[in-house]
């Protein structure tokens, strides 16, 4: 054999490993993870005591919606003595699992480690970093394989672990690919400078050798995104792919302090090596690969079902309410809206939503206004949300959303009626800008925890969260386009909305169109807010500025900016009021019935003092 062939054989080709060898190696590596994990928890018992990082009296609040039986079991397992005893048992069992042997009792040991890891997970909610979950997956599968006498069942479980391993790498890689820092090669340096996972010397190297850091970053991306190539051409690339993955985890263990990740993820590699070797090799002869075909059929069926669910939800999200109307704006966008007329002699309230919010988010407030019966109101979906269609071909700017709002008022509200613009979050900023264009038609502007165009420059918290938000929105868009909306759980805030709105809101929440629109708006917000400088332009109308207490408590700079919004309205003969709603946060200000109804009351009281004719108010006071 030539030298070139010897070198190629050393670095290329499958990694033949027998079923028994793969099973034993995986269960030992998973046991090493369990041993390390339990020893770490035992050495840091102060974290599970009162006031610790995993204080059960605090952590158990995450399970208040669980059944009474589940809560009692969790309380039993999570007592300090029980937790300690379970970890001591795990240390003993995992130590035994590291010893030589292939007894079927080892299967019971693996299942014990997997079951106790699941039982203890709520107790150690913080600090696992995913390693315990991976080792639990391997332990339960390998434990069942060890106990089974059927080679076909053992192979099916081997394929299960191998497919899970491939999936974990591919999903991680494609999720990274959506992040700008991974595509431009700066992610490695960014991670190395963080406090949680950073490493000073490595960060210094990334700055000294930026080209090498970019190559390494892109190499990680390629490894994860293309991991399944290990199965091509009879496993010819299995050696370099699996070796690179093992090296990647070793590097993470040393540099990022994720030591348990090494044994946890590498525990999946024997199953990958076993399933990627060609069946012609003597060590894997007779391997049962039927589960791969079954998985392909199940995957295709799941994709078809997810597509059908997504299409059905989109149809429901776009159809609107029975009385929905439409208006076309100067940009060609078609807006879907709902109108309640109210008293023709009083202003119409026009509600503008925040980014990634639906018009139904105002449900508690509009219900309160409907019950009052005096004021008409209009709710609408911005272009790209719900049934509103985004048809503009120009580069998107916030001015387009402002123009759409102005055009909608002109088309939907009779010319002889004034309007009161009500905006939440970004909707508040759009309402402020629209008020300048609508001029004398605007009786008042109501800001509900409104955005301020200077917030990304003045709020450190807002500025720090800006870049990750863009990456998260991009990930959501692509995930939902791929049909992952079927996997979305109903968010907690959804259940706080009025019952009649919940289903429709979730249909919109699970629709990629809404996230695409939100991502488009966010890019414009970040670009334009970063460029903001100077004072706010004066607005010639009354104003009510409502701030959520938790928003301003978290960052007092927001309260200063909300006062600046109010000051922009001050002038002779104008009423300007500011309110901090105690207990509310940015979203619950609308979605929680307690706060939404209170906002409705504040709004109606304000309009009674400012928007109703003086003789009407006087008659009501005399009647009272």
Residues 449/561, Cβ–Cβ less than 8 Å? no
* CA 322/CA 595 separation, integer angstroms: 28
130-188 tens-digit pLDDT: 788 899 999 999 999 999 999 999 999 999 999 999 999 999 998 888 778 888 888 88
Mean pLDDT of 447-457: 96
> How confident is the model at residue 519, as a pLDDT?
95
Query: Which residue would you say has higher pLDDT here, 460 or 597?
Result: 597
> How confident is the model at residue 621, as a pLDDT?
42
> How confident is the model at residue 133, as a pLDDT?
87
Rg (CA), the chain: 30
Q: What is the dihedral of CA 147, 152, 156, 161, to 10 degrees?
A: 60
Over 90: is that where the pLDDT of 615 sits? no
- For the ranges 195-209, 315-329, 351-365, the lowest mean pLDDT is seen at 195-209
Nearest to 269 by CA among 395, 161, 367: 161
pTM of this prediction exceeds 0.85: no
Residues 493/501, Cβ–Cβ less than 8 Å? no
> How confident is the model at residue 40, as a pLDDT?
85
pLDDT band (50, 70, 90) for residue 258: confident
Mean pLDDT of 571-581: 94
Buried/exposed code over 446-461 (b: 16+ C-beta within 10 A; e: otherwise): bbbbbbbbbbbebbee
Distances (CA, A) of 222 to 117, 127, 245, 462: 32, 28, 11, 32
The 8 Å CB, 24+ separation contacts for 358-362 are 358/385, 358/386, 358/504, 358/505, 358/508, 358/509, 358/514, 359/386, 360/497, 360/501, 360/504, 360/505, 361/424, 361/497, 361/505, 361/590, 361/591, 362/422, 362/424, 362/590, 362/596
Nearest to 373 by CA among 344, 414, 409, 353: 344
**Tokens 């916030």 sit at which residue?**
398
Query: Which residue would you say has higher pLDDT here, 192 or 409?
Result: 409
For residue 229, give both structure tokens: 């190539």
Residues with Cβ within 8 Å of residue 531, at least 6 apart in sequence: none
Over 90: is that where the pLDDT of 13 sits? no
> How confident is the model at residue 618, as a pLDDT?
44
| Helical H segments across 531-591, by residue range | 549-554, 557-567, 588-591
Nearest to 145 by CA among 134, 160, 132: 160
* CA 202/CA 196 separation, integer angstroms: 14
* CA 72/CA 88 separation, integer angstroms: 22
* CA 444/CA 539 separation, integer angstroms: 10
362-398 tens-digit pLDDT: 999 999 999 999 999 999 999 999 999 999 999 999 9
Residues 536/570, Cβ–Cβ less than 8 Å? no
Using the Cα atoms of residue 498, residue 502, residue 504 and residue 505 in order, give the sign of their dihedral: positive
> How confident is the model at residue 612, as a pLDDT?
65
525-572 tens-digit pLDDT: 999 999 999 899 999 999 999 999 999 999 999 999 999 999 999 998
**Pairing relationship of beta strands 334-340 and 376-380 according to DSSP bridges:** antiparallel
Looking at every residue in the chain, the average pLDDT score rounds to 90
């Amino acid at each position: 054999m030539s030298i070139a062939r010897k070198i190629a054989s050393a670095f290329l080709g499958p990694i033949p490993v027998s079923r028994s060898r793969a099973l034993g190696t995986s269960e030992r590596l998973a046991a090493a993870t369990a041993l390390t994990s339990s020893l770490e928890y035992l050495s840091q018992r102060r974290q599970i005591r009162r006031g610790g990082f995993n204080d059960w009296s605090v952590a158990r609040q995450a399970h208040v919606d669980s059944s009474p039986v589940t809560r009692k079991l969790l309380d039993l397992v999570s007592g300090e003595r029980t937790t300690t005893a379970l970890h001591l048992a795990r240390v003993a069992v995992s130590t035994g699992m590291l010893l030589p042997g292939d007894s079927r009792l080892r299967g019971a040991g693996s299942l014990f480690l997997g079951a106790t890891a699941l039982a203890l997970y709520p107790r150690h909610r913080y600090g696992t970093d995913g390693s315990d979950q991976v080792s639990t997956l391997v332990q339960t599968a390998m434990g069942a394989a060890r106990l089974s006498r059927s080679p076909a069942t053992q192979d099916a479980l081997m394929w299960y672990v191998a497919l899970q391993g491939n999936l974990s790498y591919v999903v991680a890689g494609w999720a990274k690919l959506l992040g700008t820092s991974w595509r431009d090669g700066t992610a490695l340096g960014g991670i190395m400078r963080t406090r949680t996972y950073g490493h000073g010397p490595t960060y210094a190297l990334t700055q000294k050798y930026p080209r090498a850091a970019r190559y390494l970053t892109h190499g990680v991306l390629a490894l994860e995104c293309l991991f399944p190539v290990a199965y091509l051409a009879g496993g010819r690339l299995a050696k370099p792919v699996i070796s690179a993955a093992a090296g990647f985890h070793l590097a993470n263990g040393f540099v990022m302090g994720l030591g348990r990740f090494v044994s946890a993820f590498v525990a999946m590699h024997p199953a990958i090596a076993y399933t990627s070797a060609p069946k012609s090799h003597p060590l894997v002869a007779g391997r049962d690969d039927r589960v791969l075909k079954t998985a392909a059929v199940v995957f295709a069926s799941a994709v078809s079902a997810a597509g059908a669910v997504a299409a059905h939800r989109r149809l429901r999200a776009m159809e609107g309410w029975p009385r929905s109307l439409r208006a076309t704006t100067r940009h060609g966008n078609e807006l879907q809206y709902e109108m309640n007329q109210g008293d023709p002699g009083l202003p119409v309230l026009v509600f503008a939503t925040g980014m990634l919010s639906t018009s139904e988010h105002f449900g508690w407030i509009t219900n309160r206004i409907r019950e009052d019966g005096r004021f008409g109101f209009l709710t609408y979906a911005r272009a790209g949300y719900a049934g509103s269609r985004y048809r503009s071909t120009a580069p998107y700017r916030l001015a387009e959303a402002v123009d759409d709002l102005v055009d909608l008022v002109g088309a939907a509200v009779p010319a002889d009626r004034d309007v009161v613009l009500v905006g939440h979050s970004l909707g508040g900023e759009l309402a402020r800008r629209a008020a300048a264009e609508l001029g004398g038609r605007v009786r008042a502007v109501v800001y509900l925890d409104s955005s301020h165009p200077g917030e990304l420059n003045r709020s450190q918290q807002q500025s720090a969260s800006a870049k990750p938000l863009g990456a998260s929105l991009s990930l959501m868009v692509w995930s939902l386009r791929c049909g992952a909306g079927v996997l979305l759980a109903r968010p907690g805030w959804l259940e706080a909305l009025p019952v009649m709105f919940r289903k429709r809101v979730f249909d919109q929440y699970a629709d990629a169109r809404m996230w695409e629109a939100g991502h488009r708006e966010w890019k414009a917000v970040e670009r334009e807010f970063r460029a903001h400088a100077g004072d706010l332009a004066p607005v010639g109308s009354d104003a009510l500025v409502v701030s959520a207490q938790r928003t301003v408590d978290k960052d007092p700079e927001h309260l200063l900016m909300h006062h600046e919004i109010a000051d922009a309205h001050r002038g002779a003969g104008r009423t300007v009021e500011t309110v901090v709603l105690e207990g509310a946060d940015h979203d619950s200000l609308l979605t929680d019935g307690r706060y939404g109804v209170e906002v409705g009351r504040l709004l109606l009281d304000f309009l009674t003092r400012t928007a109703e004719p003086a003789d009407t108010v006087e008659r009501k006071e005399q009647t009272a």
